[in-house]
Chain A
């Protein structure tokens, strides 16, 4: 689910950048550092604006200036039970991997409808029910997130396509 989130971050600036457009530089650096990263259990998708850039404080010892920036960002936090659309990128006999934005989700063959099975003879290998449902790399699927785990800068998710309206999306 997407949220607008107020966040705060300390940005340091090298003395060679000190000058009139310092605040601009600070914002640029913030965007560069933060956008697209995984911060704990959510992803920072985009920074809308930095609404408060504090005065710079020179750090003793190395001369860097430190700014405390308050900013507003669009963040995405996947929840257990959330349904997301994703694109399949890898298939193996145990299941397939799909990517919902920055998050890769594994859908195990246990969490697929009964009639879908792994077909290793197809090129490339695919999951199919021998009818309309063909899951191969590049397929758009709708999956329900069944479990989430976060590690430092990384998130793992388990998905399921066992349910109504889940599975292949008819393009």
Chain B
């Protein structure tokens, strides 16, 4: 290993070479003097005390010592040469390049690499910085050695027509839990879960967690079809295990999955060797080139640097509610596609199933320091052993079954119940083993393998220099880019809008799901327009504003739940939408169409009024619209007794980034069949004259005393909103419900909630893009300008002017309010009479009808009575 050595930066340049001690081809040793040089410098001489000092130039001679062992090949300097800066000085054939080091020792020459001395500028340790061995952290290699090893690996793989596949364990190919319930079920053939848990393997760890969880059994369920999958895949891929579990855990699981060590061999890497508690990196195993490496993992966020090589699989969740027992260290997961209730077969069970504990969803938590993470991990494990979530689940299931049975049994049995023992009722099992992910995964991996080697052959043929038989590492295509193109075909042509899936305040385009949608070639849209093909709705809250918008285009836009997206992600194609579509939308559409026709019929009439209202103070309408919707709609939904279209607009009206700009759309669409609010008979000012502001003040005072308006509002909501199932477990959407809900409570609070609303919405525009950008901005601007002098000052002014005669403007405003209230009440009545669809109400309410309804609502609730509204109604 010939190496050119430099003089180094520490010398006092300029220097003059005065003598060479060594001839070429002589052996040299570290720290041995090789040549002598001189340099000139200034020294202060004379009498310091008297101040008679001057600088004298001195010449000093020094030796230059060898920084390495070996043989001197040639000098790059000569005697008498003056050197002004750092340059090459000699060529040395080193006796050892210290390419492989183990625990600070050179593994080749056995010298201590940690030694530091004056002769060398860099430490020998730094020569081998790369740690690329699976099961050791102390063994490091140099770049050249790494390159060599990896080239050899690539050659061998090419020869065998294989790629490397890095496999994650937890929730990808297995699911583990330590709930002792599983062990009990295994021993009890009468248990409904017995068939499911029969094949669950178990082991104990010596170095497992301390405390309660010490010596616990780990129960490992292999993903269905795993054995076949691995067998087939291992003919095309060399398999590696990369897990965030401990080494002992990884090895035990590997032993279960691969008892003969034929698949994984010793290619197992765990968090003990990973060197990073929070992220995985392909560079840890393949430091030079990841061109031939594919990853399968259930989490994309732990592979920040290797996304192109990643195939994200849907997490395998066999032991319901357990999650990943080794995820304590990982950053909290966000934006999962949690399967809908329907997908978990046992009806209501999924709702009871403990969603990943709330702290898991806390997206803002900083990554905990290691000790804390360890502690946390232990705690969760302990909790699992103590709480036995599976047992609890089964008990719940049993209870449900029992209840169902009783319900069906009692009418038949009548009074015979006491005489005959109840038949052994059929118990449903909690654990379902119906995962099909691996079959799809196998197809994807097979296709990827095929395309990779096609590309490789093509590259090779196009390179004239290489002989066809030789293995050519130059023409290796990048499997990451092949994977990317393959995936991009999957959903190409789809234009997808998400609703209620991405948490509020998060940029859809940067969310996990958004990235995935984009990576599969679909176009992600932020609002519903005519050319959108799919609207993906969270099945827990399937009545968002976007849904209502989409209903208009129904046959063209397919409205599906998130399971459809998940299915597409795992199958890499546009899955048949049928089973995933949201029910009951057809009716809604029919009704909507009727409405539209009606509205069109009356449009000619309303046109004139439109222009009228256009002249009204511009702030008014918008503000009212903003604070309005929920009340009227709840009222109507309840009054019609038709929960079908009971909507959750409040959740959606500002649900994060993706909903921005919707308001604007909505407005334009609604313009057409806006209620003719001022139908000419009533002067807009009339209402104000009768409005009792004093009572409003009282109400306000009372309201403020009663503490947090949110709470109250929430209570109200819970009472009224019966169909709104499980708000609680839907962590994502709670916030957005609150802001508008507040807005409805009271005109004074409204002003503050505008600001909230604005704040919520104001975050979005910066991240907006595409078509609705301009639209969006415009609407934003408009809203701002409207609000400028608007609501915050409004109330105070009104208070002051309670006694005095209202100014013209005020009058106009208040009149409009009352007019609105009037309209809203009219609406209510109408609905009661006609049993109208709530849908209609939305559209009306969306506009300006309900501003005062909102104002009146709390009053109705606490019975103080509001003259303005009542009188107008």
Contacts and interface: CB of A to CB of B under 8 A. Distances in A.
A158 B102 contact: yes
Q: How big is the B interface, by class? A: 20 to 34
Interface stretch (B137-145, B395-403, B575-583): B137-145
A32 interface: no
Interface stretch (A3-11, A35-43, A60-68, A89-97): A89-97
Interface stretch (A15-23, A105-113, A163-171): A105-113
9 contacts: A94-B141, A94-B145, A97-B136, A106-B103, A108-B102, A121-B160, A123-B262, A125-B266, A147-B110
Given A93-B153, A97-B136, A124-B265, A111 B108 contact: yes
Contacts of A149: 103-105, 112, 114
Nearest to B96: A110
Q: Which residue, B103, B114, B153, B266, has most C-beta atoms of chain A within 10 A?
A: B103
B102 A156 contact: yes
What is the interface of chain B mostly: helix, strand, loop, or mixed? loop
B149 A123 contact: no
A151 interface: yes
Nearest to A94: B100
Contact of A146 (B99, B110, B135): B110
A70 B134 CA distance: 44
Contacts of B99: 110
A92 B133 contact: yes
Nearest to A124: B265
B26 to A, nearest CB: 25
A1 B627 CA distance: 87
Given A110-B107, A125-B266, 16 more contacts: A90-B136, A94-B141, A94-B145, A106-B139, A108-B102, A111-B107, A111-B108, A120-B153, A120-B156, A121-B160, A146-B110, A147-B110, A149-B103, A149-B105, A151-B103, A156-B138
Contacts of B152: 93
A137 interface: yes
Contacts of A92: 133-136, 139, 266
Contacts of A97: 136
A29 interface: no
B93 to A, nearest CB: 16
Contacts of B145: 94
B157 to A, nearest CB: 10
Nearest to B263: A123
A130 B156 CA distance: 18
Interface in A91-147: 91-95, 97, 106, 108, 110-111, 120-121, 123-125, 137, 146-147
A107 to B, nearest CB: 8
Given A156-B138, A158-B110, A124 B266 contact: yes
Interface of A: 80, 90-95, 97, 106, 108, 110-111, 120-121, 123-125, 137, 146-149, 151, 154, 156-158
Contacts of B153: 93, 120
Interface string B81-111: 0000000000000000001101111111111
B136 A95 contact: no
B769 interface: no
Interface string B140-177: 01000100010011001000100000000000000000
Contacts of A156: 102-105, 138
Contact of A147 (B105, B133, B149): B105
A97 B557 CA distance: 62
B713 to A, nearest CB: 61
Contacts of B149: 93-94
Contacts of A111: 107-108
In the A-B complex, list the 6 residue pairs whose CB atoms are closest, starting with the nearest: A147-B110, A156-B103, A146-B110, A108-B107, A106-B102, A158-B110
A91 B136 CA distance: 10
Contact of A95 (B100, B103, B105, B260): B100
Q: Which residue, A123, A124, A147, A157, has most C-beta atoms of chain B within 10 A?
A: A147
Contacts of B232: none
B261 interface: yes
Contacts of A106: 102-103, 107, 139
Nearest to A81: B110
B538 to A, nearest CB: 47
Interface in B239-272: 260-262, 265-266
B108 A91 contact: no
Q: Which residue, B110, B134, B145, has most C-beta atoms of chain A within 10 A?
A: B110
A87 to B, nearest CB: 15
B266 A158 contact: no
Interface in B573-623: none
Given A90-B266, A124-B266, A95 B107 contact: yes
Contacts of B266: 90-92, 124-125, 137
A125 B133 CA distance: 13
Contacts of B141: 94
A83 to B, nearest CB: 14
A64 B414 CA distance: 78
A94 B105 contact: no
Nearest to B99: A110
Nearest to A155: B103
B100 A121 contact: no
Contacts of A91: 266
Nearest to B265: A124
B261 A108 contact: no
A146 to B, nearest CB: 4
Nearest to A145: B110
A90 B99 CA distance: 20
Contacts of A93: 149, 152-153
Contacts of B108: 108, 110-111
B109 A94 contact: no
B139 to A, nearest CB: 7
B136 A121 contact: no
B261 A124 contact: yes
A166 to B, nearest CB: 15
Given A90-B266, A156-B104, A147 B261 contact: no
Contacts of A125: 265-266
A137 B99 CA distance: 24
Given A94-B149, A158-B110, A121 B265 contact: no
Contacts of A123: 260-262, 265
A133 to B, nearest CB: 20
B110 A94 contact: no
Q: Which residue, B100, B111, B261, has most C-beta atoms of chain A within 10 A?
A: B100
Contacts of A120: 153, 156
A151 B152 CA distance: 34
A147 B113 CA distance: 11
A160 B600 CA distance: 92
Nearest to A105: B102
Contacts of A154: 103
B747 to A, nearest CB: 71
B265 A158 contact: no
A160 to B, nearest CB: 8
A146 B110 CA distance: 5
Given A94-B145, A124-B266, A147-B112, A158 B133 contact: no
